[in-house]
Amino acid sequence: MLWREELERGAAGHDAPAEDRAAVEARAGVGAAGYGELPAEEAGRLFRWLKLGPDDVFADLGSGTGKLVLQAALETEVGGALGVELSRFRHEAALERWERVGRPAGVELRCEDFRRSDLSEVTVLFAGATVFPEELVTELGELAARWAREGRLARVLSTRELVAERLRERGRLKVETSWGVPTAVILYERVA
Protein backbone atom coordinates (compact mmCIF):
# COMPACT_ATOMS: atom_id res chain seq x y z
CA MET A 1 0.00 0.00 0.00
CA LEU A 2 1.96 2.91 -1.34
CA TRP A 3 -0.12 5.57 0.37
CA ARG A 4 1.01 4.25 3.76
CA GLU A 5 4.54 5.38 2.86
CA GLU A 6 3.14 8.75 1.82
CA LEU A 7 1.18 8.97 5.06
CA GLU A 8 4.43 8.77 7.02
CA ARG A 9 6.07 11.65 5.14
CA GLY A 10 5.70 15.32 5.99
CA ALA A 11 5.59 17.37 9.17
CA ALA A 12 5.11 15.49 12.44
CA GLY A 13 2.66 16.52 15.13
CA HIS A 14 5.57 16.86 17.56
CA ASP A 15 7.07 19.59 15.37
CA ALA A 16 4.32 22.07 16.33
CA PRO A 17 6.07 25.25 17.50
CA ALA A 18 5.70 26.54 21.06
CA GLU A 19 3.31 29.38 20.12
CA ASP A 20 1.02 26.99 18.27
CA ARG A 21 0.90 24.64 21.28
CA ALA A 22 0.28 27.60 23.59
CA ALA A 23 -2.67 28.70 21.42
CA VAL A 24 -4.19 25.18 21.67
CA GLU A 25 -3.77 25.06 25.44
CA ALA A 26 -5.17 28.59 25.89
CA ARG A 27 -8.40 27.29 24.32
CA ALA A 28 -8.56 23.67 25.44
CA GLY A 29 -6.58 23.53 28.69
CA VAL A 30 -3.15 22.51 29.92
CA GLY A 31 -1.98 19.26 28.30
CA ALA A 32 -4.37 19.51 25.33
CA ALA A 33 -1.53 20.18 22.87
CA GLY A 34 0.24 16.91 23.72
CA TYR A 35 0.82 14.59 20.79
CA GLY A 36 0.84 10.89 19.91
CA GLU A 37 -0.57 8.65 17.18
CA LEU A 38 -1.72 5.14 16.47
CA PRO A 39 0.78 3.48 14.10
CA ALA A 40 -0.80 2.64 10.72
CA GLU A 41 -0.81 -1.13 11.43
CA GLU A 42 -2.72 -0.55 14.63
CA ALA A 43 -5.12 1.88 12.98
CA GLY A 44 -5.72 -0.83 10.37
CA ARG A 45 -6.61 -3.32 13.12
CA LEU A 46 -8.95 -0.74 14.66
CA PHE A 47 -10.74 -0.15 11.36
CA ARG A 48 -11.14 -3.90 10.74
CA TRP A 49 -12.67 -4.21 14.22
CA LEU A 50 -15.10 -1.38 13.44
CA LYS A 51 -16.10 -2.57 9.95
CA LEU A 52 -16.85 0.95 8.74
CA GLY A 53 -19.40 1.03 5.92
CA PRO A 54 -20.72 3.48 3.31
CA ASP A 55 -23.38 4.76 5.73
CA ASP A 56 -20.72 5.71 8.27
CA VAL A 57 -19.10 9.09 8.70
CA PHE A 58 -15.95 8.74 10.77
CA ALA A 59 -14.51 11.68 12.74
CA ASP A 60 -11.21 12.03 14.58
CA LEU A 61 -11.52 14.68 17.29
CA GLY A 62 -8.07 16.13 17.61
CA SER A 63 -6.98 14.76 14.25
CA GLY A 64 -3.37 15.96 14.41
CA THR A 65 -1.63 15.68 11.07
CA GLY A 66 -4.57 13.76 9.60
CA LYS A 67 -3.14 10.24 9.35
CA LEU A 68 -6.07 8.41 10.92
CA VAL A 69 -8.66 10.29 8.87
CA LEU A 70 -6.78 9.70 5.62
CA GLN A 71 -6.23 6.03 6.39
CA ALA A 72 -9.95 5.62 7.07
CA ALA A 73 -10.74 7.21 3.71
CA LEU A 74 -8.13 5.18 1.80
CA GLU A 75 -8.46 1.75 3.38
CA THR A 76 -12.09 1.36 4.42
CA GLU A 77 -15.53 1.58 2.84
CA VAL A 78 -16.45 4.59 5.00
CA GLY A 79 -18.82 7.15 3.46
CA GLY A 80 -16.97 10.18 4.84
CA ALA A 81 -13.97 10.99 7.03
CA LEU A 82 -13.69 14.18 9.05
CA GLY A 83 -10.75 15.54 11.01
CA VAL A 84 -11.14 18.34 13.54
CA GLU A 85 -7.90 19.82 14.83
CA LEU A 86 -7.32 22.98 16.87
CA SER A 87 -3.61 23.34 16.08
CA ARG A 88 -3.11 25.43 12.93
CA PHE A 89 0.33 23.85 12.38
CA ARG A 90 -1.00 20.28 12.54
CA HIS A 91 -4.05 21.17 10.45
CA GLU A 92 -1.83 22.57 7.69
CA ALA A 93 0.32 19.44 7.84
CA ALA A 94 -2.89 17.40 7.42
CA LEU A 95 -3.92 19.43 4.35
CA GLU A 96 -0.48 18.85 2.78
CA ARG A 97 -0.73 15.13 3.55
CA TRP A 98 -4.20 15.00 1.96
CA GLU A 99 -2.72 16.56 -1.23
CA ARG A 100 0.19 14.11 -1.18
CA VAL A 101 -1.98 11.00 -0.98
CA GLY A 102 -4.01 12.15 -4.00
CA ARG A 103 -6.81 14.22 -2.39
CA PRO A 104 -9.09 11.26 -1.57
CA ALA A 105 -12.78 12.12 -1.87
CA GLY A 106 -15.05 12.30 1.14
CA VAL A 107 -12.38 13.82 3.40
CA GLU A 108 -12.97 17.03 5.33
CA LEU A 109 -10.31 18.66 7.50
CA ARG A 110 -11.39 21.47 9.82
CA CYS A 111 -9.18 23.71 11.92
CA GLU A 112 -11.45 24.28 14.87
CA ASP A 113 -12.32 23.27 18.41
CA PHE A 114 -14.28 20.01 18.30
CA ARG A 115 -16.53 21.38 21.04
CA ARG A 116 -17.80 24.00 18.55
CA SER A 117 -17.86 21.76 15.48
CA ASP A 118 -21.04 20.63 13.75
CA LEU A 119 -20.85 16.84 14.11
CA SER A 120 -24.50 16.08 13.42
CA GLU A 121 -23.64 13.78 10.46
CA VAL A 122 -20.95 11.80 12.27
CA THR A 123 -21.78 8.15 13.07
CA VAL A 124 -18.44 6.98 14.53
CA LEU A 125 -16.03 9.18 16.41
CA PHE A 126 -12.53 8.60 17.73
CA ALA A 127 -10.72 10.68 20.34
CA GLY A 128 -7.08 10.05 21.20
CA ALA A 129 -7.80 11.66 24.53
CA THR A 130 -4.86 10.25 26.53
CA VAL A 131 -3.38 13.63 27.43
CA PHE A 132 -6.55 15.70 27.30
CA PRO A 133 -7.14 17.60 30.55
CA GLU A 134 -9.80 16.10 32.80
CA GLU A 135 -12.34 18.87 32.06
CA LEU A 136 -11.99 18.28 28.30
CA VAL A 137 -12.65 14.54 28.77
CA THR A 138 -15.74 15.38 30.84
CA GLU A 139 -16.99 17.76 28.13
CA LEU A 140 -16.30 15.14 25.47
CA GLY A 141 -18.54 12.67 27.33
CA GLU A 142 -21.33 15.26 27.66
CA LEU A 143 -21.08 16.25 24.01
CA ALA A 144 -20.99 12.63 22.81
CA ALA A 145 -24.24 12.04 24.71
CA ARG A 146 -25.78 15.08 22.98
CA TRP A 147 -24.56 14.06 19.50
CA ALA A 148 -25.97 10.56 20.10
CA ARG A 149 -29.31 12.07 21.16
CA GLU A 150 -29.62 14.79 18.51
CA GLY A 151 -27.40 13.58 15.65
CA ARG A 152 -26.44 10.28 14.01
CA LEU A 153 -23.68 9.31 16.43
CA ALA A 154 -23.84 5.56 17.17
CA ARG A 155 -20.27 4.60 18.18
CA VAL A 156 -17.57 6.39 20.14
CA LEU A 157 -13.96 5.31 20.55
CA SER A 158 -11.79 6.87 23.18
CA THR A 159 -8.45 6.18 24.83
CA ARG A 160 -9.95 7.54 28.08
CA GLU A 161 -13.04 6.31 29.89
CA LEU A 162 -16.06 8.52 29.20
CA VAL A 163 -19.21 9.09 31.18
CA ALA A 164 -21.91 9.61 28.58
CA GLU A 165 -25.64 9.13 28.88
CA ARG A 166 -27.02 6.67 26.26
CA LEU A 167 -23.57 5.30 25.47
CA ARG A 168 -22.54 1.91 26.87
CA GLU A 169 -19.13 0.27 26.76
CA ARG A 170 -19.08 -2.64 24.28
CA GLY A 171 -15.41 -3.64 24.17
CA ARG A 172 -11.76 -2.67 24.31
CA LEU A 173 -8.98 -3.09 21.77
CA LYS A 174 -5.43 -2.97 23.04
CA VAL A 175 -3.17 -1.10 20.62
CA GLU A 176 0.47 -0.11 20.37
CA THR A 177 1.10 3.63 20.22
CA SER A 178 3.72 5.99 18.77
CA TRP A 179 4.83 6.80 22.34
CA GLY A 180 5.66 3.19 23.13
CA VAL A 181 3.02 2.55 25.78
CA PRO A 182 0.18 0.20 24.74
CA THR A 183 -3.25 1.65 25.37
CA ALA A 184 -6.85 0.46 25.29
CA VAL A 185 -9.23 1.97 22.78
CA ILE A 186 -12.64 1.79 24.44
CA LEU A 187 -15.69 1.31 22.23
CA TYR A 188 -19.04 2.77 23.34
CA GLU A 189 -22.29 2.19 21.49
CA ARG A 190 -25.51 4.11 21.60
CA VAL A 191 -28.38 2.43 23.41
CA ALA A 192 -32.05 3.24 22.86
Residues that bind ligand SAM (CB under 6 A): 13, 24, 28, 32-33, 35-38, 60, 62-64, 67-68, 84-87, 90, 113-115, 128
Q: Judged by CB, which is closer to ligand SAM: 81, or 191? A: 81
> Which of 56, 60 has the CB closer to ligand SAM?
60
Q: Which of 104, 75, 96, 71 is nearest to 15 (CA)?
A: 96
> What minimum distance in Å lies between the beta carbon of 192 and ligand SAM?
29
CB-based contact 35:54 (threshold 8 Å): no
Q: Annotate 129-146 with b (16+ C-beta within 10 A) or e (fewer).
A: bbbbbeebbebbbebbbe
Closest approach, Cβ 191 to ligand SAM, in A, equals 26
Q: Which is nearer to ligand SAM, 12 or 154 (CB)?
A: 12
Structural Rg of the chain based on CA atoms = 15
Indicate the SS3 state at residue 67.
helix
Query: At its nearest, how many Å lie between ligand SAM and the CB of residue 129?
Result: 8
Closest separation between CB of residue 136 and ligand SAM, Å? 6
**For residue 150, which phi and psi values (nearest 5 degrees)?**
-105, -20
Residue among 84 and 148 whose Cβ is closer to ligand SAM: 84
